[in-house]
Amino acid sequence: MRSLLIIVILFTISSFLFSYATSDVHCVILTRWHMFVTNDISEDITVHVTSRRDDRGNITLPFQATYDWDFCETGQIVYAGQFWWGSKGQIMNLYDTEAWEACNNHKLWVTQHCYWLVRPEGFYIGTQNLPFPNDNWQFKKSWS
């Protein structure tokens, strides 16, 4: 009975906290993740972001444009991205345990931010959206 009361209180507090989140996704208890993919190639690229439950469709990104989405972490979510740039392409995970390791700041009750930068030589992950080159950007994969 007492633990039920505590759960109800926690639930109420976290709903209150997350009602201040700026985006449309509200996470109760779970951590909110906000993902960004920026095109740093001076031509259009196309990206298709999917998870097992979420197909976000084909998005065309002009030079310097950013596509972003958010979700509540459940511990099981994987987001993949399929990319096209002219005759080149690539498929890779944008959010998985590796991205979690690279991006999470170990703070509770705050939205975690994770950035991908798409460049002619390949794909970089970072915790901040800083101008390239910068130590923030970790090279992950080249175009195939």
Residue 48 or 141 having the CB closest to ligand NAG: 48
Residue 46 or 136 having the CB closest to ligand NAG: 46
CB of 55 to ligand NAG, least distance (A): 9
SS3 49: strand
Pairing of β 112-119 and β 32-39: parallel
Residue nearest to ligand NAG as judged by C-beta position: 58
Residue 42 or 74 having the CB closest to ligand NAG: 42
Binding site for ligand NAG (CB under 6 A): 46, 48, 58, 84
Rounded CA separation 97/103 (Å):
10
Element (H, E) at 14: helix 2-18
CB of 15 to ligand NAG, least distance (A): 36
Residue 61 or 114 having the CB closest to ligand NAG: 61
CB of 35 to ligand NAG, least distance (A): 19
DSSP string across 75-121? S---EEEEEEETTEEEEEEEESHHHHHHH----TTS-EEEEEEEETT
CB of 58 to ligand NAG, least distance (A): 4
Pairing of β 79-85 and β 138-141: unpaired
